[in-house]
Amino acid sequence: MMRSRALSLWSRWVLANALAETLGLGGTFAAGFALFAGLPEPQTTLAAIGQALLMTSSGLFEGLIVGLAQWHVLRTAFGRLARRTWVVATILGAVIAWACGSLPMTVASLGAGGEQAAASEPQGWVMALLAAGMGAVAGLVLAYAQWRALRPHARGAGLWLPANALAWALGMPLIFVAVDLAQKAGSLAGFVGVMAAAIALAGALVGAVHGVALVRLASQSR
């Protein structure tokens, strides 16, 4: 019975993360495409910061969707965990993670022409390693506020931090690969289809990894 309940919790968590990231992260990419498609690279630091702030604000939407979806699963394991606490923690983590990722990348693009960027573009395996490293950092940032929310409800809640770092270190390269493949799709429908499938797969993978930690923490709930 205990194993069946653990499997049920894990599978619902995986599904919730896959759906939430498809809507949340997918919606974020769609908004970014609508806002920045066709615009030139920012030429001043002020313009770069403004663009980065717009990208960062998209973390509000992703954090809200993911936080709500996750809480609907968590409430069955941690009955005293308030929805507002978890959702706010998830939004905070998402916004900070987007800020950490978007600001340096946007500022670094200043003065870099398209031909120069193409000539210096790293190889695929280098990009995968960079994406994994970025995912690990983003996972820690995303998880920190959630960890603080979990601490009163589960012993050993610190497990949530490395679990999220590992989960996003595995999931982020999928998203980077998807962006490259989607740009080569040749049509808007192909672009959307590739990105939606990849984000859903990445969300499921991320959920599967830190879902193992969730099951362990649920067994130690207070």
Q: What is the pLDDT of residue 109?
A: 56
HSE of 168, CA atoms in CB hemisphere, 13 A:
21
What would the DSSP string read from start to end of 128-156? HHHHHHHHHHHHHHHHHHHHHHHTTTBTT
Domain residues of the chain, as ranges?
2-111+123-219
Dump pLDDT digits (tens) for 102-150. Answer: 765 665 555 554 444 444 556 777 888 888 999 999 999 999 999 999 9
Q: What is the pLDDT of residue 35?
A: 64
Dump pLDDT digits (tens) for 65-96. Answer: 999 999 999 999 999 999 999 999 999 999 98
Q: What is the pLDDT of residue 114?
A: 44
Q: What is the pLDDT of residue 8?
A: 95
Q: Is the pLDDT of residue 156 over 90?
A: yes
- Asked whether the beta carbons of 170 and 206 are under 8 A apart, the reply is yes
What tokens were used for 28?
């974020």
pLDDT (mean) for 154-173: 95
Residue 122 DSSP label: P
Phi and psi at 39, nearest 5°, equal -80, 145
Answer with the residue of higher pLDDT: 101 or 149. Answer: 149
Q: What is the pLDDT of residue 45?
A: 62
Q: Which residues contact 39 (CB under 8 A, 6 or more apart)?
A: none
Rounded to whole angstroms, how far apart are CA atoms 98 and 172?
13
Rounded to whole angstroms, how far apart are CA atoms 147 and 92?
12
Phi and psi at 137, nearest 5°, equal -65, -45
pLDDT (mean) for 40-64: 71
